[in-house]
């Protein structure tokens, strides 16, 4: 229905027919809607909002608020991909959904899907094979419709009209007939079709456009999501509207559009279509010549202007070339968001350097009417564009430099954050289109292979020839805001993050849904756009290295990769280009057809949107530059001419040093030779001389060409997978996995690759196995990890392969098609990583057998503890289950560390009591851990005896003291005595912590005395901050002992350094210490005056103040380190280049006014009264993952254990700078304002 509503034909017919009743239509459809979930309800934050900001409510609430009286619904096609086995679930879900839609008095119209069709593209699946299943689904739809007194419109039975080109989606030119068929089934006939309805159709489309911008707006994350409290969302500045302010204006525009529809339908008016909204006047800017003077290129590099706003290049986002060497530049004036009622009119500018002097001298508008086109690539005779929800394909059919054809290839990409929408299109060597999306995005895309989804941040991989779309790093497994994918010369990939560093992407090549974080290899920065240095113009010493844009520091950085096991180690090199100009914002970088390096300069003072005012007046909408960087020691490369080259010449280009040339030659060969690609490529490859220095490279490119053409060649595959070059073998292994469904007998080659001597090849073998839906291949993946050395990349890939293919190999184990025979280690490796309860019996059998060595036991028991119920937990808890002490300790360790809190069936006391009194130290300590976890208070006396028994070991006593805090009915007198004793510091702190859980007031008295005596305040403070009402109890206890100024000041400093947000305790300590901690009342005048004073501040003194005030403890600056522990606050190394002095003042004095993304402190209180503060990493149905401040490791808190959550804002205390003199404060601001300036 999404495409039907966009076309407007059905709504136009219904409006015309009921024109005297003036109906109103509201589109709630979403791509990939099913009976199991509708996007309008399931899209993150839509129903419930986010902590204080209400969403739209559930489906019933939304329908009620819209005052819906008739519901038109079409579902069933997407669900059919599950086959007949999914029919029963479909029946139940459709009945449930129809009940919700009907409500008490709404009329329901159920429209059946049309038939699946055979695509015109032979590489797409023949979906007609699914029509048999679809007929069963439609039969149940009809029954469900009748059961709910609904009208059923059958578009399936006896309907032979062809509606699609991809076999699935109704094309735009067929929407009119589609609408006429539905209308006819509803008794609405119009023999002359849409004749005379063009004006009404235009009015309907205009209203729908406005409605879409209101109901499914971009930047949803900033309206109702976890960015809803940032300045972009709330405004707080006179005369500058927030995104909420502007969205609230759209309903009035919709009303006016509906009035126009009514008038047009009655023949009383013409359509009213919104006009373009004029841009604000230009902001101040350096000329291109002036900006060039601010550049500092690396030695022997030169910079020249290729194009600027004079040729229409304004706010450029990305650049690419076609095979003729013409540059396409995607430019935006819409970013960050459409104005109310505005029709987007972003453009792609086509630039040509007609005389080859390195400067563009001709431009045309290739395409307009776009909406923030953040993705752009060329191939197949046209241009792929990513914008809003759509992947478009544009073609110039008459050679005038203007796109005549615009097709929606795929739709359903998320728009929840406009600077995180699909971006950075990049071709892999084998013709896969990679692009990225950020953590504010949810994409659900319908393809001929089924629904492809990508939740939050991740990377998409599209095979255009087959329209296969795979989501990688689903659910934020890697970078949070990825903006660029790059490949090395042999196909290994990296992805870069706008805030989170550089990540080795290859290990994440499996489109897995099981969340597993992928480590990064490069440090965080403001990265946007990345390219591999290649070609003859670039210095030979740099070829194979990478350039990356750090837009925050106005720098084009450089790094190299060194092999490290199956992956790489990153090393930073000297930068290629720096600028002293704040507005130089490199956002894309490419090696062009002439071998020069080209940089898209967004040229702007403002680089983000959530951290700036929605309509920030300093945002530059009129300037942009494309810079060209050359190495003056080497000549420029002549641009190749592909269209005039012979087939032989094109094949010779596959040896070119320039990657762009090689890629374009492959595209041209594919376009020219079509179905003959495999044959001619095999013939060419057979003639390559083995002594040719490019022998392996040429075969690599030949195999990549066949992959681009989707023309599997078993012959070439065998050649490349047996080359001496391990990088070529790795690439061939990847292609083997890609072609597995079209090549016979691939198991032998897979087994060979899985046992290859090089770890990179084995990594690719595991990744291939993880994408082949056959039970047997998981054994090859297991061999790669059990028979050879492994590293973290191989472990990552193997875990994902096992989980992603679990249904297949589990079925294989059940039906016998997967038989590990005597390869127990491989079976163990697979079962240990499996996540299904179906494997419990195998895990238990393995644990009980004597075939597993001691190293393998922990993994087995972790699996049982995680997946098992009370019965399975009981079995591994009982000592009789185990044949060795190693087995029992491994099992008990797994039970203690498991995220499950299930207890074994029956009475556990006898076994645990025996362990407490036994002679084995490790078992005794573990038994205490189990007593604490399961809260077995009946054993409190035995536990207490061990806690205070002087002859017991330190480890036993410590475990026992900690356990007492988990039990009820404990006599706390001994704990009080322990804390006051001369026992070890560790034991006393443990005693105080347990006492705080049992008798908070008594613990607070002791804690206050310890603080007054100058004893370890940080450990004491943590105890009370981590207990519900703990800080209040401590404050009351401190008040009773008359804490002196020195101790109060010292404790206050410690409290601030650990990032506490407890305002009451801070205020108390500040008052006692005589330290002012109240920030001035916010006013723009105060900010403006201080900013003026700060311009003349002393940066050296500001640096000193930064340290004295304690800022250095929480923020990274001047490449400072924190011993591997993440800093509490944001990185400030480039703050002066990303925020204005006024904004820096606001951040410093009123830290909760604008809380940077990712630094909103969350407080979680558990059912047991424990309090955790930290940064939320993930929150899903079963668990919340939190990174406590000042800690490197995350903690996982089961949702069932959480009683309360609250957003605390910034970890930086308000009033931290209140005690500074105005001069010192101005010096601090001046120092920060200079950070990042080159």
What pLDDT sits at residue 1216? 80
DSSP assigned state of 371: S
- Pick the range with the lowest mean pLDDT from 495-504, 842-851, 879-888, 994-1003: 842-851
Which residue is listed with tokens 């890629």?
663
pLDDT tens-digit series, residues 65-116: 999 999 999 999 999 999 999 999 999 999 999 999 999 899 999 999 999 9
What pLDDT sits at residue 412? 97
What pLDDT sits at residue 1223? 92
What pLDDT sits at residue 610? 62
Nearest to 974 by CA among 197, 987, 286: 987
pLDDT tens-digit series, residues 474-503: 999 999 999 999 999 999 999 999 988 999
pLDDT tens-digit series, residues 810-865: 888 878 888 888 788 898 889 888 877 778 888 898 888 877 788 888 888 988 99
pLDDT tens-digit series, residues 647-692: 999 999 999 999 999 999 999 999 998 889 999 999 999 999 999 9
- Starting at the edge strand that comes first in sequence, how are the strands of the sheet with 1161-1166 ordered? 1195-1198, 1183-1188, 1171-1179, 1161-1166, 1202-1209
Q: Which two tokens stand for residue 529?
A: 């756009």
Asked if pLDDT for residue 876 goes beyond 90, the answer is: yes
Q: Model's pTM, two decimal places?
A: 0.88
How far apart CA 817 and CA 143 sit, in angstroms, is: 39
What pLDDT sits at residue 1124? 64
Residue 70 φ then ψ, to 5°:
-130, 130
What pLDDT sits at residue 1179? 59
- The answer to whether 244 and 230 are in contact (CB under 8 A) is no
Question: Cα angle vertex 805, ends 802, 811, to 5°?
Answer: 110
Nearest to 596 by CA among 679, 539, 516, 674: 539
DSSP assigned state of 1019: H
How far apart CA 604 and CA 173 sit, in angstroms, is: 41
How far apart CA 1093 and CA 955 sit, in angstroms, is: 59
CB burial of 734-760 (b: ≥16 within 10 Å; e: otherwise) equals: bbbbbbbeeeeebeebbbbbbebebbb
Half-sphere CA count of 543, side-chain side, radius 13 A:
15
What pLDDT sits at residue 1122? 65
Which residue is listed with tokens 């706010």?
315
How does strand 390-395 pair with strand 482-487? unpaired
Mean pLDDT for the stretch of residues 1149-1163: 81
Asked if pLDDT for residue 1140 goes beyond 80, the answer is: yes
Asked if pLDDT for residue 1178 goes beyond 70, the answer is: no
How far apart CA 782 and CA 1196 sit, in angstroms, is: 28
561 versus 831: the higher-pLDDT residue is 561
- The answer to whether 587 and 528 are in contact (CB under 8 A) is yes
For 1215, left (φ over 0), alpha (ψ -120 to 50), or beta? left
Which residue is listed with tokens 């908070």?
1000
Q: Is the peptide bond before 1111 cis (omega within 30 degrees of 0)?
A: no
What pLDDT sits at residue 1080? 86
- The answer to whether 949 and 961 are in contact (CB under 8 A) is no
Q: Provide the total of helices (H) and of strands (E) in the chain, helices listed first.
A: 45, 34
pLDDT tens-digit series, residues 318-353: 999 999 999 999 999 999 999 999 999 999 999 999
Nearest to 1128 by CA among 1161, 1164, 1176: 1161
How far apart CA 1171 and CA 1155 sit, in angstroms, is: 22
- Measured in whole angstroms, the distance separating CA 1165 from the mean position of its chain's CA atoms is 27
Per DSSP (E only), the strands in 619-746 are 625-631
Residues 6 or more apart from 661 whose CB is under 8 A from it?
Answer: 593, 640, 653
Specify the 3-state DSSP secondary structure of 946: helix
pLDDT tens-digit series, residues 257-283: 999 999 999 999 999 998 888 899 999
- The answer to whether 798 and 787 are in contact (CB under 8 A) is no
Asked if pLDDT for residue 903 goes beyond 80, the answer is: yes
How far apart CA 30 and CA 2 sit, in angstroms, is: 6
- For the chain, report the end-to-end CA distance as a whole number of angstroms: 53
pLDDT tens-digit series, residues 62-74: 999 999 999 999 9
- Starting at the edge strand that comes first in sequence, how are the strands of the sheet with 70-74 ordered? 70-74, 107-111, 151-153
- Pick the range with the lowest mean pLDDT from 241-250, 1028-1037, 1054-1063: 1054-1063
What pLDDT sits at residue 403? 98
What pLDDT sits at residue 236? 64
**Cβ neighbour number for residue 724 with a 10 Å cutoff:** 8
Half-sphere CA count of 774, side-chain side, radius 13 A:
15
How far apart CA 296 and CA 302 sit, in angstroms, is: 9
Helix axes 954-964, 985-998, angle to 10 degrees: 20
What pLDDT sits at residue 835? 75
Helices (H), 417-551: none
Mean pLDDT for the stretch of residues 294-303: 98
Half-sphere CA count of 437, side-chain side, radius 13 A:
33
Q: Which two tokens stand for residue 251?
A: 């309903």
Q: Which two tokens stand for residue 198?
A: 């063009």
How does strand 70-74 pair with strand 107-111? parallel
- Starting at the edge strand that comes first in sequence, how are the strands of the sheet with 586-591 ordered? 301-308, 625-631, 597-601, 586-591
Asked if pLDDT for residue 609 goes beyond 80, the answer is: no
For 312, left (φ over 0), alpha (ψ -120 to 50), or beta? left
- The answer to whether 917 and 945 are in contact (CB under 8 A) is no
Nearest to 1178 by CA among 218, 418, 224, 456: 456
Mean pLDDT for the stretch of residues 885-892: 95
**Cβ neighbour number for residue 160 with a 10 Å cutoff:** 5
CA distances from residue 271 to 5, 201, 276, 1022 in whole angstroms, order as listed: 18, 9, 16, 66
- pLDDT grade for 1167, boundaries at 50, 70 and 90: confident
How far apart CA 84 and CA 86 sit, in angstroms, is: 5
Helix axes 985-998, 1000-1012, angle to 10 degrees: 140
Q: Which two tokens stand for residue 503?
A: 């990540």
What pLDDT sits at residue 661? 98
Nearest to 786 by CA among 771, 775, 802: 802
- pLDDT grade for 238, boundaries at 50, 70 and 90: low
Asked if pLDDT for residue 46 goes beyond 80, the answer is: yes
What pLDDT sits at residue 277? 87
What pLDDT sits at residue 1121? 64
How far apart CA 853 and CA 995 sit, in angstroms, is: 42
Per DSSP (E only), the strands in 565-634 are 567-579, 586-591, 597-601, 625-631
Nearest to 979 by CA among 1015, 1026, 932: 1015
Mean confidence (pLDDT) of the chain: 93
DSSP assigned state of 522: B
What pLDDT sits at residue 1180? 58
């Amino acid at each position: 229905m999404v495409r039907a509503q966009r076309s407007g034909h059905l709504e136009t017919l219904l409006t015309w027919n009921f024109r005297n009743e003036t109906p109103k239509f509201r589109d709630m459809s979403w791509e990939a809607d099913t009976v199991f979930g509708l996007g309008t309800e399931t899209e993150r934050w839509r129903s419930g909002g986010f902590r204080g900001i209400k969403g739209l409510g559930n489906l019933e609430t939304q329908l009620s608020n819209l005052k819906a009286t008739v519901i038109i619904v079409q579902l069933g096609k997407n669900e059919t991909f599950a086959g007949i086995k999914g029919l029963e679930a479909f029946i139940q879900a459709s009945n449930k959904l129809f009940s919700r839609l009907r409500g008490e008095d709404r009329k329901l119209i159920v429209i059946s899907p049309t038939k699946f069709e055979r695509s015109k593209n032979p590489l797409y699946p023949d979906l007609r094979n699914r029509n048999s299943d679809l007929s069963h689904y439609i039969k149940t739809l009809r029954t469900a419709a009748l059961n709910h007194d609904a009208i059923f419109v059958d578009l399936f039975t006896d309907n032979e009209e062809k509606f699609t080109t991809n076999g699935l989606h109704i094309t735009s030119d067929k929407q009119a007939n589609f609408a006429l068929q539905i209308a006819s089934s509803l008794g609405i006939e119009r023999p002359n079709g849409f004749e005379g309805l063009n004006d009404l159709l235009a009015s309907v489309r205009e209203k729908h456009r406005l409605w879409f911008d209101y109901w499914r707006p971009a930047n949803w994350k900033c309206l109702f999501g976890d960015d809803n409290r940032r300045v972009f969302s709330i405004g707080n500045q006179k005369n500058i509207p927030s995104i909420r302010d502007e969205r609230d204006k759209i309903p009035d525009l919709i009303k006016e559009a509906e009035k126009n529809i009514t008038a047009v339908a009655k023949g009383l008016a013409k359509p009213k279509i919104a006009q373009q909204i004029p841009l604000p006047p230009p902001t101040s800017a350096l000329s291109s010549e002036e900006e060039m003077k601010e550049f500092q290129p690396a030695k022997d590099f030169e910079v020249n202007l290729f194009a600027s706003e004079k040729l229409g290049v304004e706010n450029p986002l990305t650049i690419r070339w076609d095979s003729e060497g013409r540059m396409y530049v995607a430019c935006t004036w819409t970013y960050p968001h459409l104005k109310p009622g505005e029709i987007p009119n972003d453009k792609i500018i086509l630039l040509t350097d007609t005389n080859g002097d390195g400067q563009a001298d001709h431009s045309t508008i290739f395409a307009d009417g776009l909406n923030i086109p953040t993705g752009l690539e060329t191939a197949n005779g046209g241009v792929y564009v990513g914008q809003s929800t759509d992947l478009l394909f544009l073609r110039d059919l008459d050679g005038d430099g203007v796109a005549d054809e615009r097709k929606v290839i795929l739709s359903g990409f998320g728009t929840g954050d406009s600077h995180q929408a699909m971006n950075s299109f990049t071709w892999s060597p084998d013709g896969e289109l990679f692009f990225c999306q950020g953590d504010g995005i949810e994409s659900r895309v319908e393809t001929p292979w089924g629904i492809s989804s990508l939740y939050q941040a991740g990377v998409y991989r599209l095979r255009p020839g087959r329209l296969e779309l795979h989501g990688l790093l689903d659910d934020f497994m890697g970078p949070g805001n990825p903006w660029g994918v790059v490949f090395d010369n042999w196909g290994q990939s990296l992805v870069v993050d706008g805030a989170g560093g550089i990540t080795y992407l290859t290990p994440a090549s499996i489109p897995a849904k099981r969340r597993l974080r992928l480590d990064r290899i490069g440090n965080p920065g403001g990265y946007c756009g990345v390219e591999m240095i290649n070609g003859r113009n670039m210095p030979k010493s740099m070829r194979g290295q990478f350039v990356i844009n750090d837009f925050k520091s106005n720098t084009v950085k450089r790094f190299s990769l060194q092999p490290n096991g199956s992956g790489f180690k990153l090393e930073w090199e000297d930068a290629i280009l720096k600028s002293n100009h704040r507005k130089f914002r490199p956002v894309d970088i490419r090696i062009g057809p002439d071998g020069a390096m080209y940089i898209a300069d967004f040229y702007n003072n403002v680089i983000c949107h959530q951290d700036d005012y929605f309509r920030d007046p300093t945002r530059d909408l009129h300037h942009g530059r494309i810079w060209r960087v050359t190495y003056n020691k080497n000549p420029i490369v002549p641009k190749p001419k592909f269209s005039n080259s012979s087939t032989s010449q094109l094949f010779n280009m596959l040896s070119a040093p320039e990657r762009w040339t090689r890629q374009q030659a492959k595209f041209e060969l594919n376009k020219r030779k079509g179905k003959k690609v495999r044959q001619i490529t095999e013939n060419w490859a057979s003639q390559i001389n083995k002594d040719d220095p490019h022998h392996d490279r040429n075969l690599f490119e030949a195999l990549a060409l066949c992959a681009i053409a989707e023309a599997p060649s078993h012959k070439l595959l065998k050649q490349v997978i047996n080359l001496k070059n391990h990088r070529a073998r790795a690439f061939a292994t990847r292609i083997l996995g890609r072609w597995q469904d079209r090549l016979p007998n691939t198991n032998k080659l897979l087994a060979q690759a899985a046992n290859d001597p090089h770890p990179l090849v084995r990594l690719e073998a595991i990744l291939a196995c993880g994408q082949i839906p056959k039970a047997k291949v998981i054994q090859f993946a297991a061999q790669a990890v059990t028979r050879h050395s492994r590293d973290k990349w191989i472990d990552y890939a193997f875990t994902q392969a096992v989980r992603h293919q679990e249904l297949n190999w589990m079925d294989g184990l059940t039906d016998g098609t997967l038989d590990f025979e005597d390869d127990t280690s491989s079976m163990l490796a697979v079962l240990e990583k499996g996540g299904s309860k179906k494997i419990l019996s195998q895990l238990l059998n393995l644990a009980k057998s004597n075939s597993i060595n001691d190293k393998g036991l922990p993994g087995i028991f972790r699996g049982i503890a995680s997946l098992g119920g009370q019965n399975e937990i009981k079995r591994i808890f009982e000592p009789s289950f185990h044949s060795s002490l190693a087995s029992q300790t491994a099992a008990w360790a797994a039970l203690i560390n498991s995220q499950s809190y299930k207890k074994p069936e029956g009475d556990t006391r006898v076994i645990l009591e025996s362990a407490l009194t036994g002679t084995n130290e490790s078992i005794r300590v573990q038994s205490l851990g189990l007593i604490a976890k399961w809260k077995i208070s009946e054993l409190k006396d035995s536990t207490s005896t061990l806690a205070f028994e002087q002859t017991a070991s330190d480890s036993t006593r410590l475990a026992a003291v900690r356990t007492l805090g988990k039990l009820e009915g404990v006599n706390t007198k001994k704990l009080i005595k322990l804390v006051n004793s001369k026992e070890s510091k560790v034991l006393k702190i443990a005693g105080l912590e347990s006492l705080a859980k049992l008798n908070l007031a008594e613990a607070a008295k002791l804690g206050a005395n310890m603080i007054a005596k100058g004893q370890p305040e940080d450990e004491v403070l943590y105890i009370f901050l981590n207990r519900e009402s703990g800080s209040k109890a401590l404050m009351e206890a401190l008040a009773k002992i008359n804490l002196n100024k020195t101790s109060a000041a010292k404790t206050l400093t410690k409290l601030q350094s650990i990032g506490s947000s407890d305002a009451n305790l801070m205020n108390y300590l500040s008052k006692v210490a005589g330290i002012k901690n109240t920030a001035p009342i916010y006013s723009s005048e105060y900010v403006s005056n201080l900013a003026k004073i700060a311009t003349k501040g002393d940066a050296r003194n500001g640096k000193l103040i930064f340290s004295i005030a304690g800022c250095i403890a929480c923020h990274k600056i001047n490449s400072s380190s924190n011993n591997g522990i993440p800093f509490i606050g944001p990185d400030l190394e480039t703050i002066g280049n990303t925020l204005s002095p006024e904004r820096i003042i606001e951040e410093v004095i009123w830290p909760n006014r604008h809380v940077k993304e990712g630094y909103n402190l969350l407080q979680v209180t558990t059912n047991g009264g424990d309090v955790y503060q930290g940064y939320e990493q993930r929150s899903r149905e079963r668990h919340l993952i939190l990174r406590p401040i000042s800690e490197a490791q995350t903690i996982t808190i089961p949702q069932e254990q959480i009683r309360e959550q609250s957003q605390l804002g910034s970890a930086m205390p308000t009033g931290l700078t209140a005690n500074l003199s105005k001069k010192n404060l101005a010096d601090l601001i001046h120092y920060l304002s200079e950070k990042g300036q080159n």
